[in-house]
Structure 1
């Protein structure tokens, strides 16, 4: 177990550890929130059920995440990006196409400035960078692997007992455990959810030619097929990509069960030959796809962050970015409140977070849902209409620039961390 650095005035392990905020869930969102708060002087207890060493293994998680420019600013400002940058692949262009249609939509970062549209980063790389940053943060007591045994949220205090036996007292608890958040369920917060009856098959491929840092999104009848650029190896730079292959849920298990040669053959049919010969590198993973959102993101001395509050289809690559936006908004509210000497668990303060994030999150949930339903079918009239739409938008520079800036997270009122400012 990772040992806590933070100690209460009574250093005995039998005494309750007193902190400002208890963060439950030490994944990408929970760890970022803990670092943001502690870096601004708010003491944090971070509890995660996963073993910190296990989550860094290649077999734990095969996914990569698209990091928008605004999210990169958050990680940079918290001192995390410096341990990610050398392994982050810039997304310089995005090409969206609908099956074999001649119409397409093409984004090029050169049309709006010098910065890339975003970055592709392996989740494993981000976890390692976050752990390195946590090691340097004395304001975080990190308990992992460990879990919450009991949690009581009284009007004045949060009291938790860990499975290891340690007791923690805090003013606020943040549920960051992901879609199956036990903290959300224990609070009785209702969840709206539906399955897309799709499965995302994820793997890494090596190809004969360089991708030139272009991300491709092919819309097929079963769902989107995304080819996302990775850095590749020193010997073969630009020759690896992360695939997110959306398949019908009833077919995906058979695809996953194929031997290596047959799996590559099926993959190649969808990938095409524009990057030359393909080879699957490393293990395959599969993840069921669904949409879900909590009826509310706050309760008595409780706040939900990231996927614990909202989980969306990966079609636009915005899931983690929305979670990091939650972190940026919440940490700014809490830090400002702490400097004024206010109660971090005050109901009015938490309602401000709820109002600040509800519209943004629901718009993104609706957008990804509509896009997936619009493109995941082969209905001829609809296919013709969407193909004409792609072609039309591609001929509208102003509209394209708007969509590019939105994807980069540059639109709307941004919290300080996303503007590159300190808390």
Structure 2
């Protein structure tokens, strides 16, 4: 294919495909290159993970035209309950009725299906799946990727701006020689679907233990009325494999011990998976005709459920910068536009990353004294309407300098 498109997006996951669709709504064309098979990514049972979509991210989905297809799969997060080991001193975040929800929970599979179906119908997106990028080229004149797929001859796809959206192990970032600060938390997130006897009443629970947070996230009931939630349980690296290999009865007993009676009796568990947890943040998110978005630029602890939402903010900001430039005739790879994107997103993503890292370390301090101090602080926040509003606005993604696509 010889046409040069505005964007050359390497990585067609949730963030990369959102970027392509948002850009298309502004009249910008893209090549989206991904090594995965979309049929496998959207197959039943491939991925039992679920994701919290913030209020601002939901506005983005509405503005790019996929909200209607997702609406029926949404489970509202009406409030968030935070405890330290289920001891007294619970902290509750519940917005006023006119403020809406704190977010929505979606199965990852449904998010992928909505994005992929919209992309397949969008003529401004050339979606190339099951392709390996074997060479990346950038110069003052443009960007290109040489790809191989299906055993055929290599092909070259050209764009005016290369976007690295491949995730934490981004080869585009590494090939550009961008410095990255990172560390391993020596933790794993164990993820599973649960069924339980009590309704969750749209409450998301974050129960902190010294080994890491234990999160219970509301999901829609099954068709027969069975109550469901998604578990994200942080365990130490050495315990991760053992926990995933426990028999169902032993696993449910461990879950029940940590969650207490907040959801009643846990009745069954779905397929379990575990993922290593680490922190990384790049020194910069742009280069010559290059921009990084999502986990290619920053990877944070899932303690606050902001990882994907942070990447969606990147996508919305980049599209706004490029669209503003296009209106005055600037090329998508213009250095001044990339500098604006760098300044806009670099600090915000860094501050969110620092905040989640700080929370992880704060709640990881063991001992009764540390727990008592944390609960005293939580009680202070519980009594402060201003602080609670601040934290809720952060959770909903509606604070700071927002791109227009993230606004209602």
Shorter-chain TM-score range: over 0.9
SS of the aligned residue for 2:316 comes to: helix
Task: State whether residues 197 and 248 of structure 1, in contact with CA within 8 Å, keep that contact through their aligned partners in structure 2.
Answer: yes
Partner of 2:177: 188
Equivalent residue in structure 2 for 1:56, among 28, 42, 63? 42
The 1:235/1:59 distance shift into structure 2, 3 A limit, reads closer
Q: What is the CA distance between 1:266 and its match in structure 2?
A: 1.4
Q: What is the CA distance between 1:272 and its match in structure 2?
A: 1.6
Q: What is the CA distance between 1:379 and its match in structure 2?
A: 2.6
Task: State whether residues 120 and 127 of structure 2, in contact with CA within 8 Å, keep that contact through their aligned partners in structure 1.
Answer: no
Partner of 1:8: none
Task: State whether residues 207 and 275 of structure 1, in contact with CA within 8 Å, keep that contact through their aligned partners in structure 2.
Answer: yes
SS of the aligned residue for 2:104 comes to: strand
Q: What is the CA distance between 1:114 and its match in structure 2?
A: 4.4
Moved over 3 A (4+): none
Partner of 2:265: 277
SS of the aligned residue for 1:84 comes to: helix
SS of the aligned residue for 1:233 comes to: coil
The 1:112/1:409 distance shift into structure 2, 3 A limit, reads farther
Q: What is the CA distance between 1:177 and its match in structure 2?
A: 0.3
Alignment of 1:155 with 2:140, yes or no, is: yes
Partner of 1:98: 84
1:160-309 correspondence to structure 2 within 5 Å:
160-164=145-149, 165-236=154-225, 239-309=227-297
Aligned counterparts of 2:351 and 2:97: Cα–Cα separation in 1: 24
Partner of 2:329: 341
Equivalent residue in structure 1 for 2:306, among 314, 318, 321? 318
Q: What is the CA distance between 1:17 and its match in structure 2?
A: 3.0
Unpaired segments of 5 or more residues in structure 2? Answer: none
Q: What is the CA distance between 1:157 and its match in structure 2?
A: 1.1
Q: What is the CA distance between 1:57 and its match in structure 2?
A: 2.4
Equivalent residue in structure 1 for 2:315, among 327, 330, 338? 327
Partner of 1:138: 123
Task: State whether residues 39 and 137 of structure 1, in contact with CA within 8 Å, keep that contact through their aligned partners in structure 2.
Answer: no
Deviations 1:33-65 (A, max 9, x none): 000111211110000111001001244322211
Task: State whether residues 215 and 231 of structure 2, in contact with CA within 8 Å, keep that contact through their aligned partners in structure 1.
Answer: yes
Q: What is the CA distance between 1:273 and its match in structure 2?
A: 2.6
Aligned counterparts of 2:198 and 2:399: Cα–Cα separation in 1: 35
SS of the aligned residue for 1:172 comes to: strand
Task: State whether residues 220 and 377 of structure 1, in contact with CA within 8 Å, keep that contact through their aligned partners in structure 2.
Answer: no
Task: State whether residues 42 and 113 of structure 2, in contact with CA within 8 Å, keep that contact through their aligned partners in structure 1.
Answer: yes
Name the Cα RMSD after superposition: 1.3
Q: What is the CA distance between 1:392 and its match in structure 2?
A: 1.2
Partner of 2:27: 41
Task: State whether residues 112 and 401 of structure 1, in contact with CA within 8 Å, keep that contact through their aligned partners in structure 2.
Answer: no
Aligned counterparts of 2:189 and 2:28: Cα–Cα separation in 1: 38
Partner of 1:362: 350
Q: What is the CA distance between 1:166 and its match in structure 2?
A: 2.2
Give TM-score, length-normalised by structure 1.
0.93
Task: State whether residues 179 and 311 of structure 1, in contact with CA within 8 Å, keep that contact through their aligned partners in structure 2.
Answer: yes
Aligned counterparts of 2:324 and 2:99: Cα–Cα separation in 1: 33
Give TM-score, length-normalised by structure 2.
0.96
Task: State whether residues 278 and 300 of structure 2, in contact with CA within 8 Å, keep that contact through their aligned partners in structure 1.
Answer: yes
Unpaired segments of 5 or more residues in structure 1? Answer: 1-14
Equivalent residue in structure 2 for 1:70, among 48, 56, 59? 56
SS of the aligned residue for 1:171 comes to: strand
Task: State whether residues 161 and 332 of structure 2, in contact with CA within 8 Å, keep that contact through their aligned partners in structure 1.
Answer: yes
Aligned counterparts of 2:283 and 2:92: Cα–Cα separation in 1: 37
Q: What is the CA distance between 1:294 and its match in structure 2?
A: 1.1
Aligned counterparts of 2:367 and 2:269: Cα–Cα separation in 1: 35
Deviations 1:240-276 (A, max 9, x none): 0000000011111111111222112112211223322
